[in-house]
Structure 1
Amino acid sequence: MTETSLDVAPGERPRIPASEQYTSSGVLVYTVGLLLAVVLTITSFWVANTSAIWAPGVPAGLAVLAIAQMGVHLVFFLHITTGPDNTNNILALAFGVLIVFLVLAGSLVIMANLNENMMSHTELMNLRM
């Protein structure tokens, strides 16, 4: 290894001279990701508008397709893999998921508390009279 190849931040790839770069493989990865994303999107629209699927199964099908879409975006566009150089990316993603979960859970707790402590509509109308 040379001195310059060790001077790289975690999660960042070492610079490769322009003569050694292969842009066609990068374009291929993005093209495959784009095609998969388009296929999943079209499939989602089909699932939402078809009568060929049992009606209560449509939300489950859409959830599965949404999770697959997230996986395609993470792998093909954000390049989140299980390699040792992606530790920071995976930790940042996990932290983002934690924050979203906390905001959603906190909002649900607040709304449940407000609903429990709020007067019913009939009680509120009786106060106005």
Structure 2
Amino acid sequence: MSDQHLHHPIDLAPGDEEEVRVGPRLVGYFTGFGLAVLLTATSFFVAGTNLVWQPSIPVALVVLAIAQMGVHLVFFIHITTDPDNTNNILALAFGLLIVFLVVGGSLWIMSNLNQNMPMPSMDQLMQMQR
């Protein structure tokens, strides 16, 4: 078997690249930084202006937050659809599942506790203090 079959570019560890070209990487980072700043400024603008219909502000902020996460994933964490990125995508999906389970489970438990533990009336609270 030739040496060419043993070493594929996708088998290199991070930092082991034979030729590191800084220019394209910096352009990607600056593009991501510009988009992140633009999305952040847009979020502050949407939250602080009267030009946006008030009931739509939470939806707009959620959309801008999701866009911000996408910018960070692509430009800074380098999560792409390349074949060698499968493990990163699976790790990200598993992490999101865990976060969803923890947050969703916490909200569900707090909701059930709130429903199952009635708040005492003011008279009952006053009697407890005596």
Query: What is the root-mean-square deviation in Å for CA atoms of aligned residues?
Result: 2.3
Deviations, residues 103-128 of structure 1 (Å, cap 9, x unaligned)? 01111121122112213231742652
Contact (CA 8 Å) 2:10, 2:84: kept in 1 or not?
Answer: no
Structure 1: state its 5+ residue gaps: none
Counterpart secondary structure, 2:11? coil
- Which amino acid letter does the alignment assign opposite residue 99 of structure 1? I
- Structure 1 residue 77 displacement after superposition: 0.3
**Which portions of structure 1, spanning 4 or more consecutive aligned residues, are displaced by more than 6 angstroms?**
none
- Which residue number in structure 1 is paired with residue 69 of structure 2? 70
CA contact (8 A) 1:5 1:14 kept: no
1:46: how far off?
0.3
Provide the C-alpha distance between the structure 2 equivalents of 1:106 and 1:29, rounded to a whole number of angstroms. 37
The residue aligned with 1:53 is: 52
Question: How far apart, in 1, do the equivalents of 2:20 and 2:80 lie?
Answer: 21
Give the direction of change, closer, same or farther, for the CA distance of 1:13–1:5 in structure 2 (3 Å limit). farther
Give the aligned partner of residue 15 of structure 1: 16
Equivalent residue letter for 1:3: L
CA 1:8/1:63 → structure 2, altered by over 3 Å: closer, same or farther?
Answer: same
Question: Would you say the 8 A contact 1:37–1:72 is kept in 2?
Answer: yes
Structure 1 window deviating more from structure 2 (107-116 vs 118-127): it is 118-127
Distance 1:2 1:15, change over 3 A: farther
User: Secondary structure at the residue paired with 2:35?
Assistant: helix
Q: Partners of 1:61 and 1:6 in 2: how far apart?
A: 41
Please report how far the alpha carbon of residue 37 of structure 1 lies from its aligned counterpart in structure 2 after TM superposition: 0.3
* Matched residues, number: 125
Pick closer, same or farther for the CA change 1:119–1:21 going to 2, 3 Å: closer
Distance, in Å, in 2 between the alignment partners of 1:85 and 1:7 is 6
Q: Which has the higher contact order (CA 8 A, sep 6+)?
A: 1
Q: What amino acid is aligned across from residue 115 of structure 1 in structure 2?
A: N
- Displacement after TM superposition at 1:30 (Å): 0.3
Identity of aligned residues (%): 52
CA contact (8 A) 1:8 1:14 kept: no
